[in-house]
Copies of this chain bind each other. A is one copy, B any other.
Amino acid sequence: MKSTIKDVARLANVSITTVSRVLNTPELVARDTLNEVLKVIEELQYHPNALARGLINKRTQTVAVLIPDLSNLFFTELVRGIEDKANESGYNVIICNTHNSKDRMIAYLRVLNEKQVDGIIFTSEPIYPDYYDIFRALPMPVVLAATHSLEYDLPSVKVNDEKAGFDAAEYLIRLGHRNIGMLGGSVVDQVTALPRLQGFMRALRTHGVDFDLERCVVHGGYRFEHGYSGMKSLVNKFPTLTAVFASSDERAMGAITYLHEQSVRIPEEISVIGFDNTRLAEMCYPKLTTVAQPLHSIGYEAATKLEQLLNNGSVEEMRTYVPHQIIERESTARVT
């Protein structure tokens, strides 16, 4: 039978108040009493009921992370940063996998609300107006990780995607490439996909490189399959290309696989640069040059912000931008 604070109190011949104090403010209880109570707690294997605790404290010491796709290493590494910070500060984290489904996400938000989690970290995905309405209605703070919102005042931490897109393209240009394609996301995603494309285009423009949006860019999902099929249609439209910027590592991997199948040598014939620097980048052949997002930091910082919000009610910096960095590996080379 599960034991309660009452059982401990009875066996230790003290009131439940004292037992509670042993757990929460041991400095207020006499040495002997303390030891006796601790002994009984141990003996009874007593664990305080977090439901009752939460009910009265109005704090559950729990934060939730909403992620759209658990099988994306991107989120995996982000979550790690969140967990690390949360655990340091005594919070538990609940991971909620929304499977890219709005319904699931709304359902999750409801139960998280009912379960009285202290705060929520929302990852990736742009914030649509109806999401914001839901967030507003929530009694707990929300922080965005690897996404942000320009219209709404939600704290966020992410990289500067426009600049990252620019740097990726410039990197290829510096290697002498002039026929550069891009495998990007859907431009309805104005927070990630669009800025990367814009940065990419700005770099080409800046360096006077010819560019035709129709011919040079393929839009699609971030997944391997999309990279594969995207690369296929890209080489068809743009057979002279010598380099491609795939704006996720998974897409890059799909692209590489397609090129392998076509016996195109990488990087000798076509250079490929990815985005994210997930574990996948090292699992490629050749190893993937990529724009690294500091995924762990993004998670860690987001959790930090959430904690600030929880403790102070406000956040030092509303929108934090963390630096990206190009990691040079073996999938890119100087044009010959």
Using a CB–CB distance below 8 Å, which chain A residues touch chain B? 2, 45, 47-55, 60, 62, 70-71, 73, 76-77, 79-80, 83, 92, 94-95, 97, 99, 110-111, 113-116, 137, 139, 224, 250, 253-254, 256-257, 260-261, 279-280, 282-285
Chain B nearest Cβ from A153, distance in angstroms:
21
5 closest Cβ contacts across the A-B interface?
A50-B114, A95-B95, A260-B285, A71-B76, A50-B115
Q: Assess the A55–B47 pair: CB atoms within 8 A.
A: no
Residue of B nearest to A254 (CB): B283
Q: Assess the A51–B116 pair: CB atoms within 8 A.
A: yes
In angstroms, Cα B65 to Cα A158, docked, is: 29
Residues of chain B contacted by A110 (CB below 8 angstroms): 47
Q: Assess the A257–B285 pair: CB atoms within 8 A.
A: yes
Q: Assess the B54–A279 pair: CB atoms within 8 A.
A: no
Residues of chain B contacted by A62 (CB below 8 angstroms): 115
Q: Assess the B224–A282 pair: CB atoms within 8 A.
A: yes
In angstroms, Cα B307 to Cα A62, docked, is: 25
Q: Can you identify 18 A-B contacts, CB atoms within 8 angstroms? A: A48-B114, A50-B111, A50-B115, A51-B116, A53-B114, A70-B76, A71-B76, A71-B77, A80-B99, A94-B94, A224-B282, A224-B283, A250-B283, A253-B283, A257-B283, A257-B284, A261-B285, A280-B283
Q: Assess the A95–B97 pair: CB atoms within 8 A.
A: yes
Known: A51-B54, A70-B76. A2 touches B285 (CB 8 A): no
Q: Assess the B70–A92 pair: CB atoms within 8 A.
A: no
Q: Assess the A113–B253 pair: CB atoms within 8 A.
A: no
Residues of chain B contacted by A45 (CB below 8 angstroms): 137
